[in-house]
Structure 1
Amino acid sequence: MGEQPVDLHDLVTRLSSGVVGRVREIELVVAAIASDRHILIEGPPGTGKSTLLRGVARAMDIGFEFVEGNAELTPARVVGHFDPARVLSEGYDADVFVPGPLASALQNGSLLYIEELNRVPEETLNVLITVMSEREITVPRLGRIEASPGFRLVAAMNPFDAVGTARISGAVYDRVCRIAVGYQSAPDEAEIVRRAAGAGVGGGVDQVVELVRLTRAHPDLRVGSSVRGAIDMVLVAASLAELRGHPVENPSVSLDAALVALSGRVRLREGTTRTSEEVISELWQQVFGRVAGDEGAGDEGKAGAPIGATTSN
């Protein structure tokens, strides 16, 4: 499917109303796609890379083929394959070929979106490099598939030092326009949380966002939480407060919600002797402090209970 002419100024305006704090990045992505360039968006988890690319594709009415990058993404899975059962009866006919996302994107002039590009095996990356350069691919027993107008590869990836990732070769970078994104500002992240949590969200969002942002700079943490952790903490705290019959600001509610929402998202630095629960509790104390007369602190809802339960395993 090819694109219709688009008013780029209007497009950026419409996209900016739905994506918080990403005007510059929206402009860069729109300009690169409008220039028929391949794109790589690089940044930490939870910074809206996928949301941005999907939003631009929808707004520009471009076809979108999604591929999740992982170690099992072989060339056959991304390009396509011949149906073995039909090959036995019909032979290697073109109608027997089952196109993968790459073949479909080439034929339809769509965007081929690859998430977590730096988790893709090298042999599959080599196929993608060839397609980006030649705008075609030759499939044995099928022949050549040429790119229809509109085909582009767009990809997103986390920093190379994340667990399970590898450095991307210069051959890839030489064929893409790279757009680096970082975490949004604290007010922007607070607005994201409010939008995601809904109109009924109570106070304390700014403090929750502050807590989450502190995880990204703590010396014992290699990876901090994204804004998704703040969203989860706010939603869990609301439900937990109702369940326990305490205000959402109650320390036993707030800390437990922080532990549930954040302890699995952060990654400890090698060599540290602390647990993620201990680090989250320290940061929670720094942001929220303790409130005298916490009704739940002496019973099953006490703030320290989850840490003891976790460290005793």
Structure 2
Amino acid sequence: MTAVLAALAVVDRARETELLEAALASGAHVVLEGPPGTGKSTLLRRVATGRATSFVLVEGNAELTPARLVGHFDPALVLSRGYQPDVFVDGPLLTALRDGGLLYVEELNRVPEETLNTLLTVMSEREIVVPRLGPVRAAPGFGVVAAMNPYDAVGTARVSSAVYDRTCRIAMGYQSAEAEAQILAQRAPVPSDAWRDRAVALVRATRAHPELRVGSSVRGTIDLAGINHQLARSRGVAEDDWRTGLDAALVALSGRVRVDESSTRSPEDIIAELYADAFGPEPGAPEPRREEARDPGGA
């Protein structure tokens, strides 16, 4: 599994890997900013594997309280033994502090402000004082890496300048078409190189369509190929069957894109249009009728 992650991480991410490794080696904390599916988690796992340190993952959401992040005293043991250090259950933050590991916070802009304030203290002082437990200092190698999608406005909050003042920022956009084709070939079965390239072109077109506010990530390409493979097997048709590919695209992509409020079309309509642009019209379908130009003079 580690070898697979390492292979995936280097696809069009050599520069970001170098920047992240340099920032962590200098003792800095880092925020990775970019849309979903740009390899933020894979990049960090690759770097953590190379450092041979612990990797502690925390999912940012409204339920991430300071107690869940830091840890707590076991209530049952407190009743019988009191507030002893050995009855404290370390949360992900203390685990990373004691081990000198990386604390990875996903969806930073979904973390409650009270919990973020706890992180700010740790990033500044490299220690935390837990009531009834005392101070816990960071072992060498400790670092905080957070990831966020700056374009997602639902259920998120603006990250304060205090967070940015304590972190370095690495912006991560989508990879090149060649890199996405390579990722797809690693992660899902494809009928041919030509089909793979058309699938990548389809998904990349969702990011530039004027009626789509949000396009699909490379995960959509991977699901498109996987669903197409299974549909072709169940239907007993070739994996490059046009209709099968369209159905797979509708399932894999229609929920990932977001139609602009000014558009009157559905996601399915737009995906079908982009599919025909990438894969051509359906074989055997009649040509759309066009009215012949008429001479106003009747000639």
- Using the size of structure 2 for normalisation, the TM-score is 0.89
Work out whether residues 39 and 155 of structure 1, in 8 Å CA contact, stay in contact via their aligned partners in 2. yes
**Shift in alpha-carbon separation, 1:252–1:175, aligned structure 2, 3 A:** same
Structure 2 alignment gaps of length 5 or more: 287-299
Partner residue, 1:262: 253
Cα deviation, 1:231-263, whole Å, max 9, x if unaligned, reads: 111121122122222222222111001001111
Distance in 2 between residues matched to 1:272 and 1:84, nearest whole Å:
55
Distance in 2 between residues matched to 1:144 and 1:292, nearest whole Å:
70
Work out whether residues 207 and 215 of structure 2, in 8 Å CA contact, stay in contact via their aligned partners in 1. yes
Work out whether residues 9 and 39 of structure 2, in 8 Å CA contact, stay in contact via their aligned partners in 1. no
Counterpart of 1:84 in structure 2: which amino acid?
Answer: P
1:67 is paired with a residue of what secondary structure? strand
Partner residue, 2:147: 156
1:15 CA displacement? 5.4
1:179 is paired with a residue of what secondary structure? strand
Cα deviation, 1:128-184, whole Å, max 9, x if unaligned, reads: 011100111111111111111111101111115342222111100111110000000
2:70 to 49, 55, 79: 79
Q: Would you say 1:108 and 2:99 are equivalent positions?
A: yes
Work out whether residues 160 and 167 of structure 1, in 8 Å CA contact, stay in contact via their aligned partners in 2. no
Distance in 2 between residues matched to 1:17 and 1:46, nearest whole Å:
12
Partner residue, 2:294: none
1:167-182 matched pairs, under 5 angstroms: 167-182=158-173
Q: CA RMSD in A?
A: 1.9
Partner residue, 2:235: 244
Partner residue, 1:34: 25
Q: Would you say 1:56 and 2:64 are equivalent positions?
A: no
**Deviation larger for 76-85 or 17-26:** 17-26
2:147 is paired with a residue of what secondary structure? strand
Partner residue, 1:93: 84
- Using the size of structure 1 for normalisation, the TM-score is 0.85
Partner residue, 1:202: 192
Partner residue, 1:278: 269
Distance in 1 between residues matched to 2:90 and 2:143, nearest whole Å:
17
Counterpart of 1:95 in structure 2: which amino acid?
Answer: D
Equivalent pairs, count:
281
Work out whether residues 191 and 240 of structure 2, in 8 Å CA contact, stay in contact via their aligned partners in 1. no
- Structure label with greater radius of gyration: 2
Partner residue, 1:233: 224
**Shift in alpha-carbon separation, 1:67–1:186, aligned structure 2, 3 A:** same
1:220 to 192, 211, 221: 211
1:60 CA displacement? 1.3
Work out whether residues 69 and 118 of structure 1, in 8 Å CA contact, stay in contact via their aligned partners in 2. yes
1:28 CA displacement? 0.3
Counterpart of 2:266 in structure 1: which amino acid?
Answer: T
Distance in 2 between residues matched to 1:162 and 1:25, nearest whole Å:
25
Work out whether residues 39 and 178 of structure 1, in 8 Å CA contact, stay in contact via their aligned partners in 2. yes
1:272 CA displacement? 3.2
Distance in 1 between residues matched to 2:135 and 2:201, nearest whole Å:
54
Structure 1 alignment gaps of length 5 or more: 1-13, 298-313
Cα deviation, 1:24-75, whole Å, max 9, x if unaligned, reads: 1011011111111111110010000000001100111011111111111000
Work out whether residues 16 and 23 of structure 1, in 8 Å CA contact, stay in contact via their aligned partners in 2. no
Counterpart of 1:44 in structure 2: which amino acid?
Answer: P
**Shift in alpha-carbon separation, 1:17–1:66, aligned structure 2, 3 A:** closer
**Shift in alpha-carbon separation, 1:235–1:16, aligned structure 2, 3 A:** closer
Distance in 2 between residues matched to 1:191 and 1:17, nearest whole Å:
9
Counterpart of 1:85 in structure 2: which amino acid?
Answer: A
Identity, in percent, stands at: 62
Cα deviation, 1:261-299, whole Å, max 9, x if unaligned, reads: 1111112223433221111111112212223336xx9xx
Work out whether residues 15 and 59 of structure 1, in 8 Å CA contact, stay in contact via their aligned partners in 2. no
Q: Please list every run of at least 4 consecutive aligned residues from structure 1 whose deviation after the TM superposition is greater than 3 angstroms.
A: 14-18
Partner residue, 2:178: 187
Counterpart of 2:86 in structure 1: which amino acid?
Answer: D
Work out whether residues 57 and 105 of structure 2, in 8 Å CA contact, stay in contact via their aligned partners in 1. yes
Distance in 2 between residues matched to 1:27 and 1:77, nearest whole Å:
32
Distance in 2 between residues matched to 1:169 and 1:103, nearest whole Å:
24
Counterpart of 2:118 in structure 1: which amino acid?
Answer: V
